[in-house]
A and B are shown apart, each in its own frame.
Chain A
Amino acid sequence: MLNYTFDWSIITSGQYFDWLLAGLITTLKLSAISIVLAFLLGLLIAVMRMAHSKPVRWFALAYLEFFRNTPLLVQIFFWYFGSYKILPVFINDWLNKTGFEFAAAAIALTIYTSAFIAEDIRSGVLSIPKEQMEAARSAGFSYLRSMQYIILPQAVRITIPPLVNQFLNLAKNSSLAMTIGVMEMTYQARQVESYSFKGFEAFTAATVVYLVLSIVITALVNLYNEKVLNVHKAA
Chain B
Amino acid sequence: MIIFKGVHKWFKALHVLNDINLHVTPGEVLVVCGPSGSGKSTLIRTINQLEPINEGSLIVDGMDLSDKKTDINKLRAEVGFVFQQFNLYPHLSVINNITLAPIKIRNTPKKEAEEQAMVLLTRVGLAEKRDAYPLQLSGGQQQRVAIARGLAMKPRIMLFDEPTSALDPEMIGEVLEVMKDLARSGMTMVVVTHEMGFAREVAHRVVFMDYGVILEEAPPEDFFLRPRHERAQQFLRQLLTPMQGH
Q: For the complex, is A135 an interface residue (Cβ under 8 Å from B)?
A: yes
Q: Are A140 and B136 in contact (CB under 8 A)?
A: no
Q: Are A140 and B91 in contact (CB under 8 A)?
A: no
Which residue on chain B has the smallest CB distance to residue A135? B87
Which of these, B87, B88, B101, contacts A140 with CB under 8 Å? B101
Q: Are A138 and B48 in contact (CB under 8 A)?
A: yes
Q: Are A134 and B77 in contact (CB under 8 A)?
A: no
Q: Are A140 and B133 in contact (CB under 8 A)?
A: no
Q: For the complex, is A63 an interface residue (Cβ under 8 Å from B)?
A: no
A138: chain B residues at CB < 8 Å are 48, 50, 76, 79, 81
- For residues 32 through 70 of chain A, which have their beta carbon under 8 Å from a beta carbon of chain B? none
A234: chain B residues at CB < 8 Å are 90-91, 133-135
> Assuming the A-B contacts A140-B153, A141-B101, are A131 and B133 also in contact, with contact meaning beta carbons closer than 8 angstroms in the complex?
no
A18 to chain B, nearest CB (A): 46
CA distance A149 to B100 in the complex (A): 8
Q: Are A230 and B133 in contact (CB under 8 A)?
A: yes
Q: For the complex, is B57 an interface residue (Cβ under 8 Å from A)?
A: no
Q: Are B81 and A140 in contact (CB under 8 A)?
A: no
What band does the interface of chain A fall in when counting residues whose beta carbon is under 8 Å from B?
20 to 34
Q: For the complex, is B68 an interface residue (Cβ under 8 Å from A)?
A: no
A40 to chain B, nearest CB (A): 20
Q: For the complex, is A191 an interface residue (Cβ under 8 Å from B)?
A: no
Q: For the complex, is B108 an interface residue (Cβ under 8 Å from A)?
A: no
Q: Are B83 and A140 in contact (CB under 8 A)?
A: no
Q: For the complex, is A190 an interface residue (Cβ under 8 Å from B)?
A: no
Q: For the complex, is B105 an interface residue (Cβ under 8 Å from A)?
A: yes
Q: Are A132 and B89 in contact (CB under 8 A)?
A: yes
Q: Are A145 and B104 in contact (CB under 8 A)?
A: yes
Q: How many positions in chain B have a CB within 8 Å of any CB in the partner chain?
A: 26
B38: chain A residues at CB < 8 Å are none
CA distance A136 to B97 in the complex (A): 11
Q: Mark A119-142, 1 if CB is under 8 A from B, else 0.
A: 000000000000110111111111
> Assuming the A-B contacts A134-B50, A234-B133, are A140 and B89 also in contact, with contact meaning beta carbons closer than 8 angstroms in the complex?
no
CA distance A134 to B149 in the complex (A): 14
Which residue on chain B has the smallest CB distance to residue A157? B91
CA distance A102 to B149 in the complex (A): 49
Q: For the complex, is A150 an interface residue (Cβ under 8 Å from B)?
A: yes
Q: Are B87 and A139 in contact (CB under 8 A)?
A: no
B89: chain A residues at CB < 8 Å are 132, 135-136, 150, 154
> Assuming the A-B contacts A132-B87, A145-B104, A150-B89, are A139 and B50 also in contact, with contact meaning beta carbons closer than 8 angstroms in the complex?
no
Which of these, B73, B81, B88, contacts A141 with CB under 8 Å? B73
A131: chain B residues at CB < 8 Å are 83, 85, 87
Q: Are A139 and B77 in contact (CB under 8 A)?
A: yes
Q: Give me 8 A-to-B residue pairs in the complex whose CB atoms sit less than 8 angstroms apart, sorted by A's number.
A: A135-B88, A137-B50, A139-B77, A139-B101, A150-B89, A150-B100, A154-B89, A234-B135
